[in-house]
Amino acid sequence: MNETERTPADLLRSALASDPSRPLVTFYDDATGERVELSVTTFDNWVAKTANLLQGDLGAEPGDRLALLLPAHWQTAVWLMACFSTGVVAVPGGDPAGCDLVVSGPDTLDAAAACTGERVALALRPLGGRFPQPPQGFADYAAEVPGQGDRFVPHVPVDPSAAALEVGGEELTGAEVVERAVGSARALGLDADSRLLSALDMDDWEGIAAGLLAPLAAGGSVVLCRNADRAAPGELDRRGEAERVTHRAVRA
């Protein structure tokens, strides 16, 4: 771990400085046939826009807790990094009633409505499409994010010793998230040439590490698969070959 990489957002900055054009997140949805590939630069742009939305329009402040009710998806990775960039504590699968903000996919809107703070809904449609009809009481992410700025500067520098992620009932600081990401990368055997295929949900550390943080810490990339259980027989093997996958993270 480089001594300058003290928060998860620093990992992304290091990736930008190293090789901004390389693929970082390649996303497949086996229910819709969608494929999206984001370079480090493109991913960073989405993070900047989302962080500006979070800090500006939604008024989130460092230490606020955000319930993240999203499946394994490239936009989930974006929201995690946006939280890390603003100092907001990401709580994947958290109780919306106990959080200051909530970000929800289309299947968890009823649960997300329990949040008394700002609510954002993601349609999770191909090409980042909007809801045909915005859910009542929610901001439509796809409608709100395009107009946000392409560069992000936090109002207050993010403190590496402050809480950044709550997962599995454990609260981790930004520095601890980075340390664990580096440890997960080593445990998975990842390096800068690695391309990890992950079919894990992103609501626990294993899924978050495989779906974003471990490949990012190693300087590698991730092929993130949603609804992999709906893939045709042999499809993941064919995808692994086509995408030059070197490592896999799947449920037994």
**Residue ranges of the domains in the chain?**
8-249
Task: Give the C-alpha separation, 144 to 1, whole Å.
Answer: 35
Task: Give the C-alpha separation, 202 to 19, whole Å.
Answer: 25
Assign 220 to helix, strand or coil. coil
- Return mean pLDDT, the chain: 96
pLDDT confidence of residue 251: 82
All residues at 6 or more sequence positions from 157 whose CB lies less than 8 Å from its CB, including other chains: none
Whole-model pTM: value is 0.97
Mean pLDDT along residues 14-19:
96
- Residue 87 confidence class, pLDDT cut points 50, 70, 90: very high
Helices (H), 71-131: 74-86, 109-112
Task: Give the C-alpha separation, 55 to 251, whole Å.
Answer: 36
> Cβ of 143: how many Cβ atoms within 10 Å?
13
pLDDT confidence of residue 128: 87
Task: Give the C-alpha separation, 99 to 200, whole Å.
Answer: 24
Q: Check if CATH label 3.10.310.30 holds for domain 8-249.
A: no
The amino acid occupying position 122 is L
- Residue 5 confidence class, pLDDT cut points 50, 70, 90: low
Tell me which residue of 118, 162, 156, 157 sits closest to 140, measured CA to CA: 118
CA distances from 119 to 98, 127, 139, 163 (A): 13, 22, 6, 21
